[in-house]
Amino acid sequence: MKKRLFLAAPLLLAMAFLAGCPGDAADDYDLHIAVFEGGFGRAFWDERVAAFERLHDVKVNLEISPQIGQILAPRIAVGNVPDFMAITVGPQDHAFLNAMVNNRELMDLTPFFNTQAPDRPAGTRVRDAIIPGMLDTTMFAPYGDGRIFIAPFNAGPMGPVYNVDLFNRMGWTPPATWDQWFAMDALLNNPDNYVTIGGSRERRSIFTYQGIHPGYLESILWPAIASAGGVEAIRRIETYQAGSWDNPAVRAVLTNFARMGASYLMPGTVGLNHTQSQADMLLGRALFIPNGVWFVEEMAGAPREPGFEFAIAPVPTISPGQPRFVLSSAEQFTIPAAARNPEMALEFLRFLYTDESIRAFASEADGSVALLGARDIARNQLSPSVYNMLRAYDEGHFMLMSFAPIPPGLPISMGVEVFNNRITPLMTGEVSVDEYIQSMEALNAQIRAHIAAN
């Protein structure tokens, strides 16, 4: 029996009545699209929907909201699904979508990805036009059998954001190894390298992060593990394998996190929210902060050090010469298996992969679609800051990280466990590296037992 939400009978009836409202107007539109309105805003979606309506002479019902999860969850609980969703699997307020993945309620998109890609040479499949490696991950092929149930939307580098203007002026190079990273602290002791804020001279710190939102640290942790232990180390962690945390490569990375927290973190970091820590970094109090391309727009009006120019560095490696990686943010498209108009939904997905849509996303949202060559196709539409940040892919290998689905019945969010519940205590010294590793191995064992039982 599939389980998603448990509702008392009267409440279920009330929700069924309310959820039926969009369906009552079924003849009024041809396609129902639901979109999470995040950092990229809604202008892109308004423009693309209008263009699609003109192209196909159809009417689209676009629902877009920062609270789309709360809006859709009660409807989906009673079987009223959109035709197309631009909602990312993973965030806790999108639990309904995680449940749809676990319950295998999404359309198999594998045949679509084997069709001809729009605006590409004949014989180029859609899968061939996607950034290499994306479709092989559990983020898009969640069941480990090669079938694709989730489609990539955008791709943007994440990692240590820094002020490239400052580094150029100082003659500094972003550190390639962790030893070089920590060695930068000696440079910051020189008063000539202090920053002037509000008329006062302040010593810079190497690093800060979004203290009470430590999930941003994923853009440092996962690439560091991939460099130290290979991509296979990440795949083992994603699938909860025994010993995936208790190995020398992961231990070395966690040791560097503990060292960074003990001696090289901007004072007060752990108590700050994302905007506070980001504002301090922009002013020059810290050299690096984990973030992504949305940082540019999110803090567009914030004061900053004169000449500030965004850039993202690949994460340092433990040993010289190890490969460097850049974690990517990647939002997602899905089509429910029970969609009322799946053919039109697939046509809309194809429409979003055209060069025209690539340019529109850059123009309206300053973002890059997850297609090969998208950065250059939209060169004239992207802001200089975002285009510069996208160059991080030229210096490090593209990578993704996504935990395999956990069957219903075990209320665990791995993002919360890895970061919110453990990473700050590790960096403040409340939890040792050994304690961190042991707790993750115990959690993995619990998950494996639950998977085996289901």
The model's pLDDT over 421-454, given as tens digits with 9 standing for 90+, comes to 999 999 999 999 999 999 999 999 999 999 999 8
Task: Please state, rounded to an integer, the average pLDDT across all residues of the chain.
Answer: 91
What is the average pLDDT across 21-40?
Answer: 76
C-alpha distances out from residue 306 to 187, 205, 282, 366, 375, Å: 20, 18, 10, 23, 27
Joined tokens for residue 108: 């198999």
What is the DSSP track for 108-158? --HHHHTSBPTTS-TT-BHHHHBPTTGGGSTTTSTTSSS---SEE-B-EEE
87 within a domain of the structure (yes/no): yes
| Spatial CB neighbours of 2, under 8 Å, sequence gap ≥ 6 | 103, 408
- CB contact at 8 A, 332 and 152: yes
Size of the chain, expressed as the number of residues it contains:
454
Per-residue pLDDT for 14 more than 80? no
Whether residues 42 and 183 fall in one domain? no
DSSP structural state of residue 420: I
Look at residue 94 in the predicted model and tell me its pLDDT.
Answer: 79
Q: What angle do CA 328, 346, 127 make, to 5 degrees?
A: 45
Helix or strand holding residue 33 (H, E): strand 31-36
pLDDT at 57: 97
Residue 97 inside a domain? The answer is yes
Give yes or no: residues 226 and 251 share one domain: yes
**Which among 433, 66, 394, 418 has a CA at the least distance from the CA of 219?**
418
Across 352-386, b (16+ Cβ under 10 Å) vs e yields bbbbbbbbbbbbbbbbbbbbeebbebbeebbeebb
Is 391 in a helix, a strand, or coil?
helix
Whether residue 42 lies inside any domain: the answer is: yes
Give the pLDDT confidence of 151-177 residue by residue, as tens digits: 999 999 999 999 999 999 999 999 999
Tell whether the model's pLDDT for residue 17 goes beyond 80.
no
The band of 415, judged by pLDDT with boundaries at 50, 70 and 90, is confident
In a domain, 96, yes or no: yes
336 in the same domain as 279: no
166 domain residue, yes or no = yes
Token digits of residue 92: 């806790």
CB atoms within 10 A of CB 316: 22
Which residues are CB-contacts of 414 (< 8 A; sequence separation ≥ 6)?
Answer: 403, 406
Closest C-alpha to 159, from 255, 295, 250: 295
Task: Judge if 94 and 235 occupy the same domain.
Answer: no
Here the CATH number for the domain that contains residue 317 is 3.40.190.10
Based on the domain organization, do 95 and 214 belong to the same domain? Answer: no
Does position 20 have pLDDT exceeding 60, yes or no?
Answer: no
Amino acid letter, 350? R
Q: What angle do CA 109, 2, 405 make, to 5 degrees?
A: 55
Res. 21: pLDDT tops 80: no
Report how far residue 92's alpha carbon sits from residue 23's, in angstroms, rounded to the nearest whole number.
27
Please, are residues 228 and 318 in contact by the beta-carbon 8 Å criterion?
Answer: yes
pLDDT at 418: 95
Amino acid code (one letter) for 96:
F
**2-11, 51-60, 211-220, 282-291, range with the lowest pLDDT:** 2-11
DSSP letters, 338-363, are T-S-HHHHHHHHHHHTSHHHHHHHHH
Q: Domain of residue 96: give its range.
A: 9-155+330-372
Whether residues 57 and 121 fall in one domain:
yes
Instruction: Please tell me the pTM assigned to this model.
Output: 0.82
pLDDT of residue 294: 86
Comparing CA positions, the residue from 261, 266, 262, 259 lying closest to residue 202 is: 266
Question: Does 349 lie in the same domain as 224?
Answer: no
Does residue 267 share a domain with residue 313? yes
Co-location of 117 and 53 in the same domain = yes
Residue 168: its pLDDT value, please?
Answer: 96
| Shared domain check, 140 and 177 | no
Confidence of residue 249 (pLDDT cuts 50, 70, 90): very high
pLDDT computed for residue 24 by the predictor: 41
- The reply to whether 197 falls in a domain is yes
Please name every residue paired with 289 in a beta bridge, in sequence order, or none if there are none: 161
* 210 and 356 within one domain: no
Both structure tokens of 410: 């075990």
Q: How many structural domains compose the chain?
A: 2
**Residue 392 in domain:** no
**What is the reported pLDDT for 90?**
66
In this structure, are residues 50 and 31 in contact, taking their beta carbons and an 8 Å threshold?
no
56 belongs to a structural domain: yes
- One domain for residues 191 and 269: yes
Buried b (16+ CB within 10 A) or exposed e, 412-442: ebbbebbbeebbbbbbeeebebeebbeebbe
